[in-house]
Structure 1
């Protein structure tokens, strides 16, 4: 893992704070695609929803990028927004397009490294080189590298082009969805990284305790509700899903989040299988990329790069969620 400094690549691992706590860098490109090109909640305007104009860069290993693939699938955007997938192995050159290691190659310019996409946007870019990235082929710019905002663009900006009326962020539930996200992100989505990348015992244990306190809470929530916000599946479920699907295979062992497995939580594990079994979701999940990336790329955590064969998991087993009232995804109009 590395970063760009004034447009020059440097191979540098994440820095932790003085107390050993992992610090995640904030996304630096925060523009929005909107239906008419007017400015969104942040950044500049000029990014109108158009078929074929935008290109998505993802890692199949990355939970943040996985969110965008799910919304792209469920919102019917596959014919409007093409995708380039990086390799699963991320070493001294960061994310690469090595097709021998699971990449599609860079479909636009044939770049060898993802950091070249960032300097194509800004020649003297400084910051981490992350995925997902939504690229504007017309303006030759990065629209956004913030997954939470890309999925909201996908949820609504292209509706006039697709006619897709599914709404994963419906207005009546937005307050509740925002509250869920604000609670789950630091404790679970980022919490597993805070545990795994901690460089002090205290920082690790604090993150560990927060992860499992929140998982225990979510187990109770899903014991009474079909989905996180009640009867409707929303972006909050999507955001949690991409962490939960990786938990037993990676975070439990590799990131030392080993108090319990998701398989040990009856409600969470049944909810996880229900979401996995929704049409289109399973094809966005690639455990070869997931396991090879984490165990092979994080040399400070797993110096040998040996990838475990387990665990045995079957997300196609029947779930019990029909015992709870559910209405699926909210529909607009």
Structure 2
């Protein structure tokens, strides 16, 4: 299943193993496409021009789907789900030939879309990936950039984009420094830390990463005992970056990635916080834990037998009991987001 593109051609990782492993330690490759959408740039925020390729299983793609929903970009950025049998990386449409927006090309694999953008591309074909149909090229494949563009690149964060209330500003100026610092800590220790543990082939590297994961969870548990969300009474960028990791924790990272000092259920504040975010109007529609489990457990690098577990973790519909920490400040905006998703993404959400 593992592989990459070299000079425009797919190459399996082969007997040499995963090139992301260095001395038994997992090293995440840098994203190679980093262009930005925004007013006054050569990538204006035009509705219908940009297309998000995302997998239900990938947490980095999941955060992009969530922020697209929260910011009500359903009629501006089209989603192309790409789950299916993992042959030559991600399939473009469940392994069936599919047209690429803005071109006459028919592709089967996501890496072929990368090569439409650059015929000599060398690298992995990852998600999320934002495609520009206007110029037939990849705009960006870095999730942090994509969610920031969704928050800011399609207009001022506090500006209404339809007839409903303005969507929440995910990184308000008053909290920007705090959000940036928190995002960096959570990314290093937890979002990426579970991978450092799960893919490690060195005992010391594994233990350091796994203990870092739980040190971060301990810090977050303490923080969330006195506040409803990480920053204030509205879920901000840090919350939606954290959610996909917590959502997968007990079903995937606890067992498969050996992050098993404690399940998330051992953290009352964190597990209640996860259920609180999950209860946000429309969010559960973008959460497919069964597909995430199948995606991870199909990876022979961590599960050589390919056996899929029968459990999917705790029930996220259990009451979160966090109203005592203060009322949410984004209720009307999230209700509008859920309604818009139903109008524009019905086929995707039904699939």
TM-score, normalised on structure 2?
A: 0.86
SS at match of 1:57: strand
Q: Post-superposition shift, 1:196?
A: 0.5
2:6 is the counterpart of 1:5: yes
Q: Post-superposition shift, 1:17?
A: 5.0
Which residue of the partner structure matches residue 320 of structure 1?
Answer: 321
Which residue of the partner structure matches residue 31 of structure 1?
Answer: 35
- Cα distance, 1:308–1:29 mapped onto 2, change above 3 Å: same
Which residue of the partner structure matches residue 307 of structure 1?
Answer: 308
Q: How does 1:71-90 map to 2 (within 5 A)?
A: 71-90=67-86
SS at match of 2:26: coil
Which residue of the partner structure matches residue 161 of structure 2?
Answer: 162
Contact 1:85-1:106 at 8 Å conserved across structures? no
SS at match of 2:251: helix
Q: Which runs of 5+ in 1 are unaligned?
A: 39-45
Which residue of the partner structure matches residue 232 of structure 1?
Answer: 234
Q: Post-superposition shift, 1:4?
A: 1.0
SS at match of 1:167: coil
* CA deviation map 1:138-176 (0-9, x unaligned): 011111001111111111222468244421111111101
Which residue of the partner structure matches residue 174 of structure 1?
Answer: 176
CA distance in 2, matches of 1:326, 1:190: 31
Contact 1:84-1:104 at 8 Å conserved across structures? no
SS at match of 1:87: coil
CA distance in 1, matches of 2:251, 2:228: 25
Which residue of the partner structure matches residue 132 of structure 2?
Answer: 136
Which residue of the partner structure matches residue 344 of structure 2?
Answer: none
- Cα distance, 1:200–1:96 mapped onto 2, change above 3 Å: same
* CA deviation map 1:263-300 (0-9, x unaligned): 1110000000000000111000012210110001x112
- Aligned residue among 264, 274, 277 for 2:276: 274
CA distance in 2, matches of 1:88, 1:247: 22
Q: How does 1:224-263 map to 2 (within 5 A)?
A: 224-263=226-265
* CA deviation map 1:200-219 (0-9, x unaligned): 11111010010001101110
CA distance in 2, matches of 1:104, 1:261: 41
Contact 2:289-2:312 at 8 Å conserved across structures? no
SS at match of 2:175: helix
CA distance in 2, matches of 1:218, 1:240: 10
Q: Which runs of 5+ in 2 are unaligned?
A: 334-351
Q: Post-superposition shift, 1:106?
A: 5.8
* CA deviation map 1:121-140 (0-9, x unaligned): 00001111100010000011
- Cα distance, 1:273–1:241 mapped onto 2, change above 3 Å: same
Q: How does 1:216-227 map to 2 (within 5 A)?
A: 216-227=218-229
- Cα distance, 1:273–1:106 mapped onto 2, change above 3 Å: farther
* CA deviation map 1:87-118 (0-9, x unaligned): 24434x11113537xx8956634410010011
Moved more, 70-79 or 135-144: 70-79
Contact 1:135-1:141 at 8 Å conserved across structures? yes
CA distance in 2, matches of 1:84, 1:98: 8
Which residue of the partner structure matches residue 339 of structure 2?
Answer: none
